[in-house]
């Protein structure tokens, strides 16, 4: 048996590790079905409300070859179209709840279940009111623009920053997912939020499944969700990121 790492539930949510197990299993199946063998997901040996036992990963620095594996594997997984947007149960994004449902409209799901939900959690009344006003005026047009620029639902890792990808000597591993089905470029956007995964990753991804012409605009709109979440969790250091994201959301909505 491989070495086992036991993760403890340090959140206030009893089902957090149950949802994490579901996310890991969903990613593993999706990668297998897409014919991806170079990107791995830890095996779950046991799960409860308090503990999650998974494969222990002897991690080190990323290498050019393993970053390319990650880009190619992620692109293959994203190319597989799913039936609907959303997910069948609520789960978590980091330390925050992530509400889910099934939807035929990506734009409506993203505006309501991602952006509006995070805005509803803002504790500063003036900030919440300002962001609510933008969504009330631009949300419908933004949703339409997102629908226009999304090809199909893809399974997303959902929290794909560098801390949630580990590298052993041979391959990359995906950990700590916040899975749902959405625009694949939402995953790519988050890879750039905290520094990016390097040119090799993006060129490998683009060889398999090129990013859309609207990617740079969508990147700011999609990272708005994560900036709002970080603002709600960690405070004012993320407020400027929220403002940049809303400025882009207004711009694309007004030109839609």
Domain annotation covers residue 225? yes
Domain annotation covers residue 46? no
What is the tally of structural domains in the chain? 1
pLDDT in tens, 1-30: 579 999 999 999 999 999 999 999 999 999
| Structure-block tokens of residue 190 | 């988050």
Q: How many CA atoms lie within 13 A of 137 on its CB side?
A: 13
Domain annotation covers residue 24? no
Q: How many CA atoms lie within 13 A of 231 on its CB side?
A: 25
Residue 222: which CATH number?
A: 3.90.1200.10
Domain annotation covers residue 232? yes
Confidence of residue 65 (pLDDT cuts 50, 70, 90): very high
pTM reported for the whole predicted model:
0.96
Mean pLDDT of 181-209: 96
Asked if residue 47 lies in contact with residue 21, where contact means CB atoms within 8 angstroms, the answer is yes
pLDDT in tens, 111-143: 999 999 999 999 999 999 999 999 999 999 999
**Phi, psi of 124, rounded to the nearest 5 degrees:** -85, 115
pLDDT in tens, 93-117: 999 999 999 999 999 999 999 999 9
Q: Which residue in this structure is represented by tokens 């490998």?
A: 204
Domain annotation covers residue 196? yes
Domain annotation covers residue 142? yes
pLDDT at residue 101, rounded to an integer:
98
Q: Domain range for residue 230?
A: 63-255
Torsion of CA 76, 82, 84, 88, to 10 degrees: -100
Catalytic residues: 159
Q: Which residue in this structure is represented by tokens 């709600």?
A: 232
Asked if residue 227 lies in contact with residue 93, where contact means CB atoms within 8 angstroms, the answer is no
Domain annotation covers residue 16? no
User: Which of 145, 152, 161 has its CA nearest to residue 248?
Assistant: 145
Domain annotation covers residue 12? no
pLDDT at residue 1, rounded to an integer:
54
Mean pLDDT of 45-64: 96
Residue 204: pLDDT above 70?
Answer: yes
pLDDT in tens, 173-190: 999 999 999 999 999 999
Asked if residue 9 lies in contact with residue 16, where contact means CB atoms within 8 angstroms, the answer is yes
């Amino acid at each position: 048996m491989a070495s086992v790492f036991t993760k403890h539930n340090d959140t206030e949510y009893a089902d957090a590790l149950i949802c994490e197990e579901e996310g890991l299993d969903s990613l593993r199946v999706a990668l297998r079905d897409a014919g991806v063998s170079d990107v791995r997901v830890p095996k779950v040996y046991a799960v409860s409300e308090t503990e999650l036992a998974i494969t222990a990963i002897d991690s080190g620095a990323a290498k050019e070859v393993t970053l390319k594996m990650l880009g190619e594997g992620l692109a293959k997984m994203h190319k597989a179209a799913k039936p609907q947007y959303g997910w069948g149960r609520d789960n978590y994004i980091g330390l925050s709840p992530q509400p889910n449902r099934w939807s035929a409209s990506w734009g409506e799901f993203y505006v309501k279940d991602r952006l509006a939900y995070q805005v509803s959690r803002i504790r500063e009344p003036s900030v919440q009111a300002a962001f609510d006003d933008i969504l009330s005026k631009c949300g419908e047009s933004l949703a339409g623009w997102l629908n226009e620029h999304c090809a199909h639902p893809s399974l997303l890792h959902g929290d794909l920053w560098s801390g949630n990808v580990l590298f052993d000597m041979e391959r990359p591993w995906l950990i700590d997912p916040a899975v749902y089905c959405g625009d694949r470029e939402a995953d790519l956007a988050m890879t750039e939020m905290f520094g990016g995964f390097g040119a090799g990753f993006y060129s490998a991804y683009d060889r398999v499944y090129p990013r859309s012409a609207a990617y740079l605009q969508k990147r700011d709109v999609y990272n708005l969700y994560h900036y709002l979440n970080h603002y709600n969790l960690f405070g004012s250091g993320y407020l400027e990121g929220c403002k940049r994201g809303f400025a882009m959301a207004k711009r694309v909505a007004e030109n839609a």
